[in-house]
Structure 1
Amino acid sequence: MQLEIRPDPAEVGRARRWARSRLAGAGIQADEPLAETLVLLVSELVTNAVVHTGRPAVLRLSLPGVPAEVTTVRLEVADASTRAPVPRCVGDEATSGRGLALVDSLADRWGWSPEGAGKHIWCELDRRTPPVDVEETATPAAYEGPAHREPAYGETAYEKPAYEVV
């Protein structure tokens, strides 16, 4: 599934609505942590494409077809810029520059690669459901949220998220 994005900031809201409708069609409820996180990631990556390139982009979603213990949702944004995405460390007063830190902290995996005359940035979220034989003492929180991973060589590591929810 894909959505063509015009180089207009209003497209970010349209991309979020489109992603929500695709998730609902795949049986992922709007109030599930996976859905809320994915919509936030759509917002960040589409905003980056629109703001930093000023060119059209393409949003792609790959959703699981059959529920399983772990399923992966993949989000990609392709744009016509060859500039590599670079996570930035910004001060407390900065009004932008935290998007890739947010992606890094919320996604299970993310990266980018050249694509034709541009690039695509992707991220993946794993949807975890408890195994059938889990004891009742296990909490659902044990199965939600991104898995911790060590940063690759040369990759920026973020000790804590670079954002605050108010």
Structure 2
Amino acid sequence: MQVLQVQLEVGPDPAEVGRARRWARSRLAGSGIGEDEPLAETLILLISELVTNAVVHTGCPAVLRMLFGAAGGVTGTVRVEVADASDRPPLQRHADGDETNGRGLELVDGLADRWGWQPEGVGKQIWCEVDRRGPVRPRRVPPVVPQGGETREPAPRLFTV
């Protein structure tokens, strides 16, 4: 299987999140994922959440990577990685009704087929994967825990990506 990887350096400024979204949209289109596809919107939302978390919660520059797996010329799994220089593990919060923050990793958990984090250099990498398939069926995938990191088991979903 071939894998295409593209990456963008993101500065420690919340305005960089918009730039990361624009960059990601152009890379998705270049990989054959149309901007009107639900998959594209899901990936842009995931990218927005992960980059926002890196920029806002660490105050450090980050690197956004997208990896496109291809089999027979069709994109299979799309992996999004955001690496930053903070060694603090991500903390999934459960925001109350009126709170304006604290839902980012809950969204990632609900939208991604898989997600997790692992140490990278002096910091960490948070990643998520979305499979490009037909309707998503609820399933149980055993979690894989990398050394020193954490992986979340996906919650069953009843919508399509």
Say yes or no: TM over 0.5.
yes
Partner of 2:3: none
TM-score, length-scaled by structure 1: 0.79
Determine the C-alpha separation between the residues in 2 that align with 1:24 and 1:102. Answer: 23
More strand by share: 2
Question: Does the Cα contact within 8 Å between 2:113 and 2:154 map onto a contact in 1?
Answer: no
TM-score, length-scaled by structure 2: 0.81
Question: Deviations for 1:64-106, whole angstroms, at most 9, x for unmatched residues?
Answer: 34444x7100000000001111111121011100000000000
CA-based RMSD: 2.4
Determine the C-alpha separation between the residues in 2 that align with 1:19 and 1:73. Answer: 12
Question: Does the Cα contact within 8 Å between 2:114 and 2:130 map onto a contact in 1?
Answer: yes
Determine the C-alpha separation between the residues in 1 that align with 2:63 and 2:55. Answer: 11
145 and 82 in structure 1: CA distance in 2 versus 1, 3 angstrom threshold: same
Instruction: Report the residue type matching 2:16 in the other structure.
Output: E
Question: Which of 139, 144, 165 is the equivalent residue of 2:135?
Answer: 144
Partner of 1:72: 77
* SS class of match (2:132): strand
Determine the C-alpha separation between the residues in 2 that align with 1:43 and 1:145. Answer: 22
Question: Does the Cα contact within 8 Å between 1:107 and 1:146 map onto a contact in 2?
Answer: no
Mapping 1:39-118, distance limit 5 Å: 39-65=44-70, 66-68=72-74, 71-118=76-123
Question: Which of 24, 33, 36 is the equivalent residue of 1:31?
Answer: 36
148 and 40 in structure 1: CA distance in 2 versus 1, 3 angstrom threshold: farther
Unaligned 5+ segments in structure 2 are 1-5
Question: Does the Cα contact within 8 Å between 1:4 and 1:57 map onto a contact in 2?
Answer: yes
Q: Does 1:121 align with 2:153?
A: no
156 and 88 in structure 1: CA distance in 2 versus 1, 3 angstrom threshold: farther
Determine the C-alpha separation between the residues in 1 that align with 2:25 and 2:61. Answer: 21
Question: Deviations for 1:29-87, whole angstroms, at most 9, x for unmatched residues?
Answer: 0011111000000000000000000010000000134444x710000000000111111
Question: Does the Cα contact within 8 Å between 1:151 and 1:157 map onto a contact in 2?
Answer: no
> Which structure would you say has the larger Rg?
1
Determine the C-alpha separation between the residues in 1 that align with 2:138 and 2:7. Answer: 27
Instruction: Report the residue type matching 2:44 in the other structure.
Output: V
Q: Which runs of 4+ in 1 moved over 6 A?
A: 156-160
Question: Does the Cα contact within 8 Å between 2:138 and 2:156 map onto a contact in 1?
Answer: no
Determine the C-alpha separation between the residues in 2 that align with 1:147 and 1:15. Answer: 31
Unaligned 5+ segments in structure 1 are 129-142, 161-166
Aligned residues: 145
